[in-house]
Amino acid sequence: MAATAGVWKKKRDDLKDKRNALFETYSKDPQNFHLAREIKALDDEIADCTQHVEQERRAEQRAASPIAKLLKSSK
């Protein structure tokens, strides 16, 4: 699971870098709506990656919980 979360984090970081570069360009030319749409699309992808990372984190926490360990050892 941690490997999957790492992949999502890497993708999210790459998207953030791309988004920040576009935003820097957009801030110099705020009339460029094409850039605004690209930034919005990247924001959506970043949110999706963040959601996947959070799901992986919660799954890891459930797997590490004391009850889950007890259930596994009692089988």
| Per-residue pLDDT reduced to its tens digit, 33-44 | 999 999 999 999
Instruction: Check: CB of residue 52 under 8 Å from CB of residue 10.
Output: no
**Alpha-helical segments (H) within the chain:** 2-28, 33-64, 66-74
In this predicted structure, what is the pLDDT of residue 13? 97
3-state secondary structure of 29: coil
pLDDT bucket at 18, cuts 50 / 70 / 90: very high
pLDDT of 1 over the 60 cut: no
Q: What is the pLDDT of residue 51?
A: 95
- Find the angle CA(4)-CA(13)-CA(27) to the nearest 5 degrees: 155
Domain with 7 in it: 2-74
Number of domains within the chain: 1
pLDDT digits (tens, 9 = 90+) for 59-75: 888 888 776 566 666 55
